[in-house]
Amino acid sequence: MHISEGILPLSWAASWGVSSFVILSIALKKLKGTLERNPEKKAFFVLITALIFLLSALPIPVPFAGTCSHPVGVGVGVLTVGLSGSIVAGFIVLLLQALFMAHGGISSLGANVFAMAIVGSFSAYLVLQILKNTGLPLFLKGFLVGIVADWLTYTVTTLQLSLALMEGEPFFSLFLKILLAFLPVQGPVGILEGLITGSLIVALAKRRKDLVEVSV
């Protein structure tokens, strides 16, 4: 999902950058307040950020799409450090990967942040709110949160690439082509991420139930 440097025209890169900056500023302010009230959670936030970094640092190139495929990790973020924490953690991860791993790019950072850190986290949060007080097993809740965050992230990336690259080709035609390019790789990766997310949350809940943002 890390859109490479130079793929997006400047106008689109700037638009996604401004949108991401506004939402990130709000999330950062909320996270700062949370950590000031609960300073003991600072180390846990760093740990979750490192975990998201690890999960999203295994790129699988996707032919034609000008990007790559990998787990996103923000489902775990929402389930542990909440919506604001996940958005900020996702931004930190994407910035570090762009600067030091050539994974994504600086010009495309805003678009990548919007797709993964923001939309991925919001979609995970919405699924969590829907499932939070249901009688579903915790593993299944985590699985659904993880898979939806993953697939919605890549759907938005497909939208971003289609809008930027259509150049006379019908939007829906290009959207479908890019989506089909992602599908063989990201379909299984999303299922794998759901399994990982569910397993991690169950394991964490057994030891520190207070660190899980969902009722068991």
For residue range 184-210, what is the model confidence (pLDDT) as tens digits? 888 888 999 999 999 999 999 999 988
The whole-angstrom separation of Cα 215 and Cα 43 is: 23
Q: Specify the pLDDT at position 64.
A: 54
Give per-residue pLDDT as tens, 77-134. Answer: 999 999 999 999 999 999 999 998 888 889 999 999 999 999 999 999 999 999 988 8
CB-count burial class (<10 Å; 0-12, 13-18, 19+) for 183: middle
| CA 204 to centroid of chain Cα atoms | 20
Above 80 in pLDDT, residue 215?
no
The whole-angstrom separation of Cα 52 and Cα 72 is: 7
State the residue for tokens 């497909």.
Answer: 158
Give per-residue pLDDT as tens, 156-183. Answer: 999 999 999 888 789 999 999 988 888 8
- Enumerate domains of the chain plus CATH numbers: 10-208 (1.10.1760.20)
Above 70 in pLDDT, residue 145?
yes
Q: Specify the pLDDT at position 126.
A: 97
Q: Specify the pLDDT at position 45.
A: 96
Give per-residue pLDDT as tens, 23-71. Answer: 999 999 999 999 999 998 999 999 999 999 999 887 676 655 555 678 8
Q: Which stretch of DSSP H or E encloses residue 115? A: none
Tokens of 43: 């180390």
Question: Could you say which DSSP state residue 4 is in?
Answer: P
Q: Specify the pLDDT at position 33.
A: 95
